[in-house]
A and B are shown apart, each in its own frame.
Chain A
Amino acid sequence: MKLIVKGEEKEYKEGLTLAQLVELEKIETPQYVTASVNDELLSAGEFEKTLLKDGDVLEFLYFMGGGGL
Chain B
Amino acid sequence: MIIMPRRFYDEIVKRAVEGASEEICGLIGGTLKDGTKEVKEIYFLENTDHSKEHFSMNPKEQLEAVKDMRKKGIIPLGNFHSHPESPARPSEEDKRLAYDKEASYMIISLADRDRIVLKSFRITGNASSEEDIKII
User: Within 8 Å CB of B53, what residues of A?
Assistant: 67-69
Q: How far is the CB of B103 from chain A (nearest CB, A)?
A: 8
A41 and B59 within 8 A (CB):
yes
Contact partner, B70, options A7, A28, A65, Cβ 8 Å: A7
Tell yes or no: A62 within 8 A of B by CB.
Answer: yes
Contact of B63 among A29, A32, A33, A39 (CB under 8 A): A39
Chain B residues with CB under 8 Å of A32's CB are 99
- A69 and B97 within 8 A (CB): no
Contact, CB under 8 Å: B63 / A63: no
B62 engages A68 (CB within 8 Å) = no
Number of interface residues of A (CB under 8 A): 19
Kindly name the residue among B83, B90, B100 whose own CB sees the greatest number of chain A CB atoms within 10 A: B100
The verdict on A61 contacting B63 (CB below 8 Å), with A7-B70, A66-B55, A68-B91 known, is yes
0/1 interface trace, chain A 32-51, chain B, CB 8 Å (1 if under): 11101001010000000000
Contact assessment for A64 and B91 in the assembled complex, using a CB-CB cutoff below 8 Å: no
CB-CB under 8 A from B120, the residues of chain A are: none
Residue in contact with B79 in the complex, picked from A28, A33, A64, A67, CB distance below 8 Å: A64
Q: How far is the CB of B85 from chain A (nearest CB, A)?
A: 7
Given the interface pairs A7-B70, A32-B99, the reply to whether A65 lies near B56 with Cβ below 8 Å is: yes
Name which residue of chain B comes closest to A32, CB basis.
B99
Residues of A at the B interface (CB closer than 8 Å) are 7, 28-29, 32-34, 36, 39, 41, 59, 61-69
| Pairs across A and B, CB under 8 Å, 7 listed | A7-B70, A33-B99, A59-B66, A61-B62, A64-B57, A66-B105, A67-B94
